[in-house]
Each structure stands twice: as structure tokens, then as C-alpha cells.
């Protein structure tokens, strides 16, 4: 048992449902008790979906507990088959059905005899994998199912398209800015004269999956979901894949160079050269490179930041901050514990320390200890930041509804670099304002509120030191106060005077 | 399936394929209500994910609830349940020092048959903190019924009411000491009774149901106007202030989903249940007060006038809702009372979906609904227990109601198809009880209608692409 208040990645069935409901005309049936269909609420609310979420539950109640599901699951599958005529029905196990150990595969086999839809059982174990791993697996399972089916039926056409083309694998419902990223990737490929063969799973039809091998290569923008599918396709169809996330200027260029390599491997006559395109985009279309050189960005030099999120976003943002903007990343971390090795390798040399955990209190403690000027994390880090009075830019799920913006906000590609530059710059206190506040002693001289997480008040500030503290600009005041108190405690001082403040400053900056 | 609306109350039961919140969501409002409590939900990641997402911002406010997240070792009994729970509860005691820990049993603890009720007393002794066990799981219950299971479990923890006779005796004793022996015995008895009358006009009355403290005191003071004293609430603001119960105590529910609590109070604590309509809407509030007063033989004063006044204050909203139709998809068991109130407001209710209907506990409310329909000359709505959301949507497609009261899973898709919706969850969290809050109910109900008055002429009511014919 684990005492838990909050979690970064959801349970396995959420991953499966995200795959199923991303495809067009695929219905998921959960084997679950009443109330477990919370996924429908999330999709309907966060994504503001206009359509009914194609997920229903085959309810597990007392009767099921006593006698087993018997006909219930099969009936529910055949009923859905008649009502909605989906191409595919995915029977989704939950934590409850994991323990009931009913033979769900048997239900699937029975139901597929009578129904027109294809029926499969999602192969995920609730207690072994989380949302992201389950989504990765389920996507691979669906792709494999349809390619093998096509092969059996002899409809599999393995010839590649005449012109260079690519599949984009891993665009999902409820994914962090996935819709915008997808549009940006399509634009990027179009600029490179590469056709988009298929985008899966979002908006894709399972009937078209047999056309996947027609593409020249696969592009897997996110580390968490899609890699298993790409590896499967490589193994069975010899399709190369690119798993460099085109986030930030350097990595976008690197991703394009990889594309160039793969495309040139397959063409015989003329060779593609994307270098001029990269140069043009980097220097003149994207504003990020110029921004890094501009005076604005100079003010960010050496400022401390903390990064936390899923593996893809945390790694990319860390590298952007360190490599492209000259910001000091004091700590970077991810909750993707299953992918820790990859993550460590990616951020090696770009940060002072690495934190791999899915315990948000550890992240909170780390932030409180480091006291960065800005945080880049998930919604949880945003709230930690609020409490500590440190600004936070949200760069990764888990997210709230405000992270599903209506406007165009990609994180990938060249437009993505602009968005990220804005996000980073706006998160730090604006440089000039920073200076002015310091020069004029701040405009905010309200009484100091303790922002520290601990609530012990064994220290007293005398009038003078209180006044001195009030002169310090608001955004660093909490930090100075904490530092001084830390110093006072270390030296067994209970009464804080101006002298103590100065001593603390000297001690800490030494 | 017919869409004809019948003339009498009809009860139907469908498949139970409907969307609702898991009953563990009750921790959200109960931990705020019971200030010195700590709720420990013994379940899986699924439960945790639900709580985290359903409660949104609350989770960041250092709530007094947590998950005891079961891992594979717990499921396969490689770990000892008792030791594990002890470890977690010790930590909770150390960090938060609550007056009570409430264990919420979930589907998983049911299936693996974890003996929470057996372990609690043992651990309670060892820890020195009361541990209350409530099985609020999705196998048996829906949404608000979670509160019912918690309050039913708490009813066992309420102290025993000092019997009236004993109390009488205490007074008697003190009186005897004060009185001189030359008074006649008969007279003595009379004085004693008089003193006793002064002590309390009505027998002890305990109200059950968790309400925000302002709403609770509003209801208490409404009763006080009729000189009815409320001796306690279940739950109280603090666990340590639980009301005393016993066979002389009258109890009355304020919410329609508390049937288990009612049963427990009657059968186990021998209390006398006052079956009344629920104090939702001015009509409901008046009927509720009248019923309580009638049980105590008190004649109500100025109640009719008070109700009238409230209705007059609602006039602007009533003009908006009159003649409009409503469809309750059903998910929180408040549906019967809300429908009754809305019918009284002049609305037409096509269907009342409800997860579970206890016809005995809700008897007075059902009768009240029937009478309201007659008085307003409005056809009786059909009541659908354990509804099937898919079928309901088909029915809605034909009926085209002006307003659907529904869960969040269906709200946006229905709106995109031109049907106004109101999230049913809001009725659970808003203040809807008593005379004072009648306006809040209508504020919620009319919000989509008012919004549409503003957007009406833009021609965007249907925002879906051409659809397959078997959907709305």
C-alpha cells in the first residue's frame, strides 16, 4: 500500500481508452463498476468534444461479483455493434476486472462470431503498466491486428508511395497540445515536400491501417506513445522511424536531418538537401534563434530554473533552456520512471541534478530547496509555484482545461519554438521590470507573508529588520526571508535584526 | 419504447448503463464538512485518478483525504493488510492528528474481501483514534449514496441519549431537595412536569444529511421560528460533536439519498423517523417544516406567508421557466425533489431518471410530487430507475426538451446538438436547501436558458457535422 494524494500518470485503462476514442468509429467497452466511466467526462470537458465519447461500460455489480458476467459482456458488445456499427470494439479491462480474472478473451471470441465489428481485448495489466505504457501497447496491438488481418486476407500492399511520404504516429486525444503539434508537423513535412500518408490514431480509421507500410518512414514525435508501433513496423516491414522530438531549434534541425537521411536512402536519382531550409527557418522564420541573441534573453542568463514533466517534454525543454537560452537548469526530472535511463541520457550535461519520481511531494521539496526563478512543469508544479510565489510555465500533462487552448499553440516544429520562447520569457519576471524594482526598492511594500511550507514561527523580526525586509522587491522577498531565517536557525538566533539579515546574505552568497 | 406521458406516476427500470460519479466522491464534501476528520480511500489508481480529476483544484489545497493505493502485493495477499493500513494510519496520525479516520472501502476491497470492518476496531485500539468504515463502492452505490454509507456508519458512533426518564429523575432529585415536604405529592409531580416542559418543548430532534454550515443553521432557525429545537446534526461540524441518539430521539432527513442512514437510525439506534418531503424549494421546505411540526403537535405560524413571499421573489426566474420542458437523465438521487420543485415552478418534466429509488424513504416526497402534478394540471412524469443513457438520448431526440439535466459526460455533446443542458453535479455542490436558497436552484436551472436568450439569433444552435441517422 502506498499513501498517495496525487498521481502524474493515470491508470492503464485510461491509456487504452485514449487510443480507442482517438480513432474514428472505434468503440470501447469497459468491464468496470459504476462510476469508472470518468474518462467520458474528461474527454467531453477537457477536449470540449462535440460528440458522445465512444466509450460505454459493461457494468460490474453485485450480481456479476456473485455469478460472473455470463452473457452481460457479450450482450453489451453485440448491442453496441447494432447501435453504432463501429469498425472495431475494444473490450477494456480495468483494475476491477484484473482481479476478477474472468476470461474476457472468451467473451471477445464469442462476441466476434455474431457481430459485424471486429472485437479485440486490450492486452494491458492494470497493476503493471500506467496510462502511457498502456496507450503505447494498445496502439501497437490495434496496428498489428489490422496488418495481420490484411496479410491473411491478401489485401496487404507493401509497395511504397511514389513520392516521399511519412506516417505520424502518436497523436492522441487528451494529449498535451497534440492537435496543434499535429498541424505543425504536417506543415513541416509539406515544406519538405513529403506527403503525410497516415496520422494515427487521432482521426484515423482502422480500415486504413493496412496502408501504413506505404509510407517511406514513420515519425514518432513523442517518446511515451507510439514507439512500440514504430518498432513493430520496422521489424515486420523494414520501415525506418525517427524518434527525435522536433522540439526546439536544435532538435527540430536534427529531426529534419534524420528525415533527409532516410529519404535519400530510398531515392536513387536526385538527392534531397534540407540544409538551406533549416537555415532559412532557423534564422528568419522562427524567431527563437534571434530571441536567444536579443538583449531580452541576456537578462535570463544564468537564472535558475527547474523542469519536471513527462520524459519527452521535460527532456526537450531542459535542452532548450540550457542550450538555446543560456538558462541554468538546476534540476530536471520526469515521472516516467519506466523510461528513466533514456531520460538521464538525454539531459546529461544540461542540468545540475536529475530527479526521477512520481511522488509530487518530492518534487515540491526539491523546488522549495532550490528556489528557482521559474518552474517548467505540470499543473502540479504550477500549484507548488503558486504556494512558493515562483512563476511556472506548464509544459506537460497532467493538465487542466486551460491547457487545451483554442488558439494555435504547438510545441513542436518552428512555430513551436516561438511558442516556447514566449512561454519561457513570460514565466521569468520581465528583465527590465526586475532592474527597476531593484533600483527603486520595489513598489509593493505590504506586510510580508510567510511563504515557506513549514509553519513554525519561533523567530521574531524586530521593527527595523521588518522595514528592511519590506524594501526588498516582492518577488525575491520571500526567498530572502527564508534564507535569513534558515541562517538564524543554524546559528541559534531567535531575534532577527538588520545585522543578522546582512550576515545571512554574506554567509549565503559566500 | 413509448414516449407517451402517462397520467399516474409510473416506475420503470432500465439496464443501469448510465453515467454517474463514483460514490467515493463523497469525501470531497464530507472532509470539508467534518473538520477534524481524515478520509482514507482504500483503493486503486483508478479511484485516485477519479478523485484527482473530479475534484480539480481542491486537491491542491492539502486536503484531509488520501488514497491507500493498493499494489500488486496487496491484491495477491503477499503483504499483510493490517500491517499496511497500520503503517499508513500511523503516518496520518503523525502528520495530521485527526479526531477520526474514515476508511472508504472500494470495489477492490470488496472483491478481494478485505475485512476492513474487522481490522478497524483492532487498529482503533492500537492507535487511539476512532476508525469508521464505510463501503462506498461502485459495485453497490451511485454518487451521493456514498455520503449515505458514511453517515450510516457514523450513526453507530453517536453517543447514547440519556433516557428521558433518567433525566426526569435528575430533575426530580434536585426538586426534592429544594422542595419542602409539606407540599402535597400531587403538586410536587405537577411542578416537576412543568420544569421538565420548560427544559425542552419538543423531544430531541436530530437532522441528518451533510449541508454547508450556513445552510444547516438556516434550516435550524426556520424550525426555531416554529419553536422547534434542533438538538443536533448528523454529521456535525466536528466528529467530536456527534449528536446523541436513542429511542426518544426523532430524526428527519434533509436529503433524498440517505435511506441507509435512515434505516440505521431506526433499526439500530431505535430513533423515530419523520418521513417528510425534502426541504428543496420553498414548497418542499414548507412541507418539511409542517411535517415536523405536526409530529410534535405544533401549529405552524406564518409559514404560508413566508412561502408566498419566496415565490414572489422568484418571479423573474419563474417567467423564464414557465412552460419549458425538462428531462432528468439521473445521477445523484436529488431528481425527484428537484422535479417536484420545477413542476411547481410551471415546468413540464418528461422523465425523471434516478439511480435508485427507495419508495419508503421517499414516500412523502413521491406523494408530494403527485399532488404537485395534479395541482399544476401537468401530466405525471415517468420515473426511470437505473436508466440507460443510450435509450434516454434516443428518447430525448424525439421529445426535444428545453433543458436536459445531465452529467458532464453528455453535456457538451448534447449542447452541440442544440439541447440546453445543466450539469447535475452542480446541484450536489450548490446550496439548494431551505427558503433562502430557492433562488439558487433557479439560478442554476435558468442559466442555460438565459445564456441562450443572449445567443439565440446567431443561428449556431446545431454545431455538429452531418451525422449517422441513429444518433441525435
Q: Tens digits of per-residue pLDDT, B132-170? A: 999 999 999 999 999 999 999 999 999 998 755 565 565
Answer whether residue B115 shows pLDDT above 80. yes
Q: Among A399-408, B310-319, B360-369, which is the least confidently predicted range?
A: A399-408
Answer with the residue of higher pLDDT: B239 or B57.
Answer: B239
Partners of residue A37 in chain B, C-beta under 8 Å: 19, 409
Partners of residue B17 in chain A, C-beta under 8 Å: 56-57, 59, 76
Which residue, among B71, B6, B120, has the nearest Cα to B370 in the 3D structure? B6
Cell of B58: 481542491
Residue pointed to by grid coordinates 534564507: A483
Helix (H) or strand (E) holding A10: none
Give this complex's ipTM.
Answer: 0.86
Partners of residue B413 in chain A, C-beta under 8 Å: 44, 49-53
Q: Considering only residues 43 to 102 of chain B, which have any Cβ-Cβ distance to chain A shorter than 8 Å?
A: 44-46, 48-50, 52-54, 56, 59-60, 63, 66-72, 74-75, 79, 84-85, 87-88, 91-92
pLDDT of B470: 44
Q: How far is B92 from chain A (nearest CA, A)?
A: 9
Q: Is A158 exposed, middle or buried (0-12, 13-18, 19+ CB in 10 A)?
A: exposed
Using a CB–CB cutoff of 8 Å, tell me whether B331 touches chain A.
Answer: no
A91-A10-A352 Cα angle (round to 5): 145
Answer whether residue B2 shows pLDDT above 50. no
A262/A244 Cα distance (integer angstroms):
13
The answer to whether the CB atoms of B71 and A1 lie below 8 A apart is yes
Answer whether residue B244 shows pLDDT above 50. yes
Answer whether residue B213 shows pLDDT above 50. yes
Phi, psi of B432 (to 5 degrees): -120, 0
Measure the N-to-C terminal CA separation of chain B; round to a whole number of Å.
Answer: 16
Tell me which residue in B19, B66, B407 faces A5 most closely, judged by beta carbons: B66
> Which residues lie below 8 Å from residue A214, measured CB to CB, with a gap of 6+?
A157, A158, A159, A160, A161, A165, A197
pLDDT of A199: 95
Cell of B188: 410536587
Answer whether residue B310 shows pLDDT above 70. yes
Provide the strand spans (E) within B106-253.
131-135, 205-208, 232-234, 250-253
Partners of residue B468 in chain A, C-beta under 8 Å: 85
Q: Tens digits of per-residue pLDDT, A58-117? A: 999 888 888 888 889 999 999 999 999 999 999 999 998 888 888 999 999 999 999 999
Mean pLDDT of chain B: 87
- Give the mean pLDDT of B240-256: 94
pLDDT of A451: 44
- For residue A209, give the DSSP letter: G
The answer to whether the CB atoms of A83 and B470 lie below 8 A apart is yes
Are B374 and B351 a contacting pair, CB within 8 Å? no
Answer with the residue of higher pLDDT: A266 or B89.
Answer: B89
pLDDT of A433: 66
On the CB side of A297, CA atoms within 13 Å amount to: 21
Q: Considering only residues 374 to 403 of chain B, which have any Cβ-Cβ distance to chain A shorter than 8 Å?
A: 390, 393
Q: How confident is the model at residue A479 (pLDDT cuts 50, 70, 90)?
A: confident
Answer with the residue of higher pLDDT: A400 or B446.
Answer: B446
Number of other CB atoms surrounding residue B429 within 10 Å: 11
Q: Tens digits of per-residue pLDDT, B427-467? A: 998 899 999 899 999 999 999 888 887 777 777 777 777 65
- Give the mean pLDDT of B64-74: 89
B98-B103-B104 Cα angle (round to 5): 135
Q: How far is CA A313 from CA A257, A258, A357, A502, in A?
A: 21, 20, 15, 40
Q: How confident is the model at residue A439 (pLDDT cuts 50, 70, 90)?
A: low
Q: Tens digits of per-residue pLDDT, B379-397? A: 999 999 999 999 999 999 9
Catalytic residue list of A: 296
B37/B116 Cα distance (integer angstroms):
18
Are A233 and A213 a contacting pair, CB within 8 Å? yes
Minimal-distance CA residue of chain B relative to A50? B413
The answer to whether the CB atoms of B407 and A96 lie below 8 A apart is no
Minimal-distance CA residue of chain B relative to A61? B139
Mutate to test the interface with B, among A28, A30, A43, A52 (most CBs of B within 10 A): A52
Minimal-distance CA residue of chain B relative to A80? B390
B346/B344 Cα distance (integer angstroms):
5
Answer whether residue A461 shows pLDDT above 90. no
Helix (H) or strand (E) holding A206: none
Output Rg (C-alpha) for chain A, integer angstroms. 27
Answer whether residue A211 shows pLDDT above 90. yes
Partners of residue A25 in chain B, C-beta under 8 Å: none
Handedness of CA A211, A212, A217, A220 (dihedral sign): positive
On the CB side of B199, CA atoms within 13 Å amount to: 14
Q: How far is B120 from chain A (nearest CA, A)?
A: 16
pLDDT of A323: 93
Answer whether residue B56 shows pLDDT above 80. no
Which residue, among A307, A347, A345, A299, has the nearest Cα to A323 in the 3D structure? A347
Taking the mean position of all CA atoms in its chain, how far away is CA A242? Answer: 18
- Give the mean pLDDT of B297-301: 92
Mean pLDDT of chain A: 89
Which residue, among A120, A161, A157, A167, has the nearest Cα to A20 in the 3D structure? A120
Partners of residue B22 in chain A, C-beta under 8 Å: 33-36, 38
Output Rg (C-alpha) for chain B, integer angstroms. 25
- Give the mean pLDDT of A237-255: 96
Are B171 and B196 a contacting pair, CB within 8 Å? yes
Tell me which residue in A5, A13, A49 faces B413 most closely, judged by beta carbons: A49
Q: Considering only residues 35 to 64 of chain A, which have any Cβ-Cβ distance to chain B shorter than 8 Å?
A: 35-38, 40-42, 44-45, 48-53, 56-57, 59-62
Are A392 and A374 a contacting pair, CB within 8 Å? yes
Q: How confident is the model at residue A453 (pLDDT cuts 50, 70, 90)?
A: very low
Answer whether residue B1 shows pLDDT above 50. no
pLDDT of A236: 95
pLDDT of A70: 80
Minimal-distance CA residue of chain A relative to B18? A34
The answer to whether the CB atoms of A33 and B107 lie below 8 A apart is yes
The answer to whether the CB atoms of A33 and B139 lie below 8 A apart is yes
Write the DSSP assignment of A322-379 as a string of letters. IIIH--EEEEEEES-GGGHHHHHHHHTTT-SEEEE-S-HHHHHHHHHHH--SEEEE-H
Partners of residue A11 in chain B, C-beta under 8 Å: 44-46, 49
Which residue, among B12, B48, B27, B126, has the nearest Cα to B392 in the 3D structure? B12
Answer whether residue A510 shows pLDDT above 60. no
A55/B431 Cα distance (integer angstroms):
32
B167/B177 Cα distance (integer angstroms):
16
A46-A126-B107 Cα angle (round to 5): 85
Do the strands B382-385 and B205-208 form a parallel or antiparallel pair, or are they unpaired?
unpaired
Tell me which residue in B69, B139, B416 faces A1 most closely, judged by beta carbons: B69
Partners of residue B91 in chain A, C-beta under 8 Å: 3
Q: Tens digits of per-residue pLDDT, A11-58? A: 999 999 999 999 999 999 999 999 888 999 999 988 888 899 999 999
**Residues across chain A:** 510
Minimal-distance CA residue of chain A relative to B92? A3
Instruction: Return the exposure string of A402-440: e unless at least 16 CB atoms fall within 10 Å of the residue's CB, then b.
Output: ebbeeeebbbbbbbbbbbbbebbbebbbebeebeebeee
Residue pointed to by grid coordinates 496479410: A151
- Give the mean pLDDT of A218-239: 96
Answer whether residue A186 shows pLDDT above 60. yes
Mutate to test the interface with B, among A11, A32, A33 (most CBs of B within 10 A): A33
User: What whole-number percentage of chain B has pLDDT above 70?
Assistant: 88
Minimal-distance CA residue of chain A relative to B64? A5
Answer whether residue A454 shows pLDDT above 50. no
Answer whether residue B59 shows pLDDT above 70. no
Using a CB–CB cutoff of 8 Å, tell me whether A100 touches chain B.
Answer: yes
Amino acid at each position: 500500500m502506498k499513501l498517495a494524494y496525487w498521481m502524474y500518470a493515470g491508470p492503464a485503462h485510461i491509456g487504452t481508452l485514449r487510443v480507442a476514442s482517438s480513432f474514428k468509429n472505434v468503440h470501447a467497452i469497459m468491464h468496470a463498476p459504476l462510476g469508472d466511466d470518468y474518462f467520458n467526462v474528461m474527454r467531453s470537458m477537457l477536449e470540449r468534444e462535440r460528440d458522445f465519447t465512444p466509450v460505454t461500460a459493461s457494468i460490474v455489480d453485485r450480481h456479476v461479483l456473485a455469478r460472473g458476467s455470463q452473457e452481460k459482456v457479450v450482450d453489451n458488445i453485440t448491442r453496441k455493434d447494432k447501435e453504432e456499427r463501429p469498425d472495431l470494439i475494444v473490450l477494456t479491462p480495468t483494475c476491477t476486472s484484473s482481479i476478477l480474472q474472468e476470461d474476457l478473451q472468451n467473451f471477445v471470441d464469442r462476441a466476434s462470431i455474431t457481430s459485424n465489428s471486429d472485437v479485440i481485448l486490450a492486452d494491458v495489466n492494470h497493476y503493471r503498466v500506467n496510462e502511457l505504457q498502456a496507450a503505447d501497447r494498445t496502439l501497437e496491438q490495434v496496428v498489428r491486428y489490422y496488418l495481420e488481418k490484411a496479410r491473411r486476407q491478401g489485401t496487404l500492399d507493401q509497395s511504397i508511395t511514389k513520392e516521399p511520404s511519412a506516417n505520424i504516429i502518436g497523436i492522441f486525444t487528451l494529449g498535451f497540445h497534440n492537435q496543434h503539434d499535429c498541424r505543425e508537423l504536417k506543415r513541416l513535412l509539406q515544406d519538405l515536400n513529403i506527403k503525410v500518408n497516415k496520422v494515427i490514431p487521432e482521426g484515423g480509421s482502422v480500415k486504413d491501417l493496412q496502408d501504413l507500410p506505404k509510407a517511406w518512414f514513420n515519425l514518432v514525435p513523442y517518446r511515451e506513445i507510439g514507439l512500440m508501433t514504430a518498432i513493430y513496423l520496422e521489424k515486420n516491414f523494414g520501415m525506418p522511424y525517427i524518434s527525435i522530438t522536433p522540439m526546439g531549434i536544435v532538435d527540430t534541425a536534427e529531426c529534419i536531418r534524420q528525415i533527409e537521411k532516410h529519404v535519400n536512402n530510398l531515392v536513387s536519382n536526385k538527392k534531397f538537401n534540407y540544409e538551406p531550409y533549416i537555415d532559412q527557418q532557423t534564422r528568419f522564420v522562427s524567431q527563437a534563434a534571434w530571441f536567444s541573441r536579443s538583449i531580452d534573453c541576456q537578462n535570463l542568463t544564468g537564472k535558475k530554473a527547474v523542469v519536471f514533466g513527462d520524459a519527452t517534454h521535460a527532456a526537450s525543454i531542459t535542452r532548450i533552456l540550457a542550450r538555446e537560452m543560456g538558462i541554468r537548469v538546476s534540476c530536471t526530472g520526469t515521472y516516467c520512471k519506466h523510461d528513466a535511463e533514456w531520460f538521464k541520457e538525454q539531459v546529461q550535461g544540461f542540468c545540475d541534478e536529475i530527479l526521477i519520481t512520481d511522488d509530487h511531494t518530492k518534487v515540491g521539496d526539491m523546488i522549495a530547496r532550490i528556489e528557482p526563478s521559474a518552474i517548467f512543469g505540470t499543473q502540479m508544479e504550477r500549484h507548488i509555484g503558486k504556494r512558493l510565489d515562483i512563476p511556472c510555465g506548464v509544459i506537460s500533462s497532467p493538465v487542466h482545461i486551460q491547457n487545451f487552448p483554442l488558439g494555435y499553440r504547438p510545441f513542436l516544429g518552428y512555430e513551436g519554438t516561438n511558442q516556447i520562447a514566449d512561454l519561457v520569457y513570460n514565466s521569468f519576471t520581465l528583465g527590465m521590470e526586475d532592474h527597476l524594482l531593484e533600483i527603486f526598492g520595489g513598489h509593493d511594500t505590504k506586510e510580508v507573508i510567510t511563504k515557506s511550507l513549514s509553519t513554525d514561527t519561533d523567530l521574531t523580526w524586530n521593527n527595523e529588520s521588518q522595514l528592511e525586509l519590506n524594501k526588498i522587491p516582492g518577488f525575491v522577498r520571500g526567498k530572502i526571508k527564508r534564507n535569513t531565517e534558515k541562517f538564524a536557525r543554524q546559528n541559534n538566533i531567535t531575534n532577527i535584526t538588520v545585522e543578522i539579515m546582512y550576515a545571512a546574505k554574506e554567509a549565503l552568497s559566500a | 419504447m413509448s414516449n407517451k406521458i402517462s397520467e399516474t406516476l409510473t416506475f420503470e427500470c432500465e439496464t443501469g448503463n448510465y453515467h454517474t460519479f463514483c460514490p467515493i466522491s463523497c469525501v470531497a464534501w464530507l472532509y470539508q464538512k467534518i473538520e477534524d476528520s481524515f478520509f482514507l480511500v482504500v483503493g486503486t489508481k483508478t479511484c485516485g485518478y477519479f478523485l484527482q480529476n473530479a475534484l480539480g483544484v481542491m486537491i491542491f489545497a492539502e486536503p484531509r483525504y488520501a488514497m491507500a493505493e493498493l499494489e500488486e502485493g496487496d491484491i495477491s495477499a503477499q503483504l499483510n493488510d493490517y500491517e499496511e493500513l497500520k503503517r499508513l494510519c500511523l503516518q496520518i496520525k503523525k502528520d495530521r492528528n485527526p479526531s477520526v479516520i474514515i476508511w472508504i472501502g472500494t470495489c477492490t476491497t470488496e472483491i478481494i474481501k478485505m475485512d476492513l470492518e474487522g481490522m478497524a476496531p483492532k487498529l482503533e485500539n492500537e492507535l487511539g483514534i476512532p476508525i469508521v468504515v464505510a463501503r462506498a463502492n461502485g459495485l453497490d452505490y451511485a454518487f451521493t449514496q456514498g455520503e449515505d454509507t458514511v453517515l450510516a456508519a457514523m450513526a453507530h458512533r453517536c453517543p447514547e441519549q440519556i433516557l428521558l426518564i433518567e433525566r426526569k429523575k435528575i430533575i426530580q432529585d434536585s426538586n426534592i431537595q429544594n422542595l419542602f415536604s409539606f407540599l402535597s405529592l400531587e403538586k410536587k409531580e405537577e411542578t416537576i412536569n412543568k420544569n421538565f416542559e420548560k427544559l425542552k418543548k419538543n423531544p430531541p430532534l436530530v437532522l441528518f444529511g451533510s449541508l454547508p454550515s450556513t445552510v444547516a443553521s438556516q434550516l435550524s432557525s426556520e424550525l426555531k421560528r416554529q419553536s422547534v429545537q434542533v438538538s443536533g446534526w448528523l454529521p456535525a461540524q466536528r466528529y467530536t460533536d456527534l449528536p446523541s441518539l436513542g429511542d426518544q430521539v426523532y430524526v428527519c432527513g434533509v436529503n433524498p439519498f440517505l435511506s441507509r442512514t435512515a434505516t440505521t437510525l431506526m433499526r439500530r439506534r431505535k430513533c423515530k423517523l419523520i418521513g417528510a418531503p425534502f426541504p428543496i424549494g420553498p414548497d418542499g421546505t414548507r412541507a418539511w417544516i409542517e411535517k415536523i411540526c405536526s409530529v410534535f403537535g405544533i401549529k405552524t405560524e406564518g409559514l404560508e406567508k413566508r412561502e408566498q413571499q419566496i415565490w414572489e421573489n422568484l418571479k423573474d426566474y419563474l417567467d423564464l421557466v414557465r412552460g419549458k420542458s425538462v428531462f432528468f437523465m439521473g445521477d445523484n438521487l436529488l431528481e425527484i425533489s428537484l422535479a417536484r420543485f420545477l413542476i411547481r415552478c410551471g415546468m413540464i418534466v418528461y422523465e425523471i431518471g434516478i439511480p435508485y429509488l427507495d419508495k419508503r424513504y421517499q414516500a412523502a416526497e413521491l406523494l408530494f410530487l403527485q399532488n404537485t402534478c395534479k395541482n399544476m394540471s401537468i401530466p405525471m412524469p415517468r420515473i426511470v430507475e437505473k436508466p440507460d443513457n443510450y435509450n434516454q438520448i434516443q428518447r430525448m431526440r424525439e421529445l426535444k426538451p428545453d433543458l436536459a439535466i445531465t452529467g458532464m459526460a453528455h453535456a457538451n455533446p448534447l449542447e452541440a446538438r442544440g439541447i440546453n443542458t445543466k450539469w447535475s453535479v452542480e446541484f450536489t455542490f450548490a446550496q439548494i436547501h431551505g427558503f433562502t436558497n430557492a433562488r439558487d436552484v433557479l439560478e442554476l436551472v435558468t442559466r442555460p436558458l438565459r445564456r441562450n436568450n443572449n445567443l439565440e439569433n446567431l443561428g449556431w444552435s446545431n454545431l455538429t457535422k452531418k451525422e449517422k441517422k441513429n444518433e441525435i
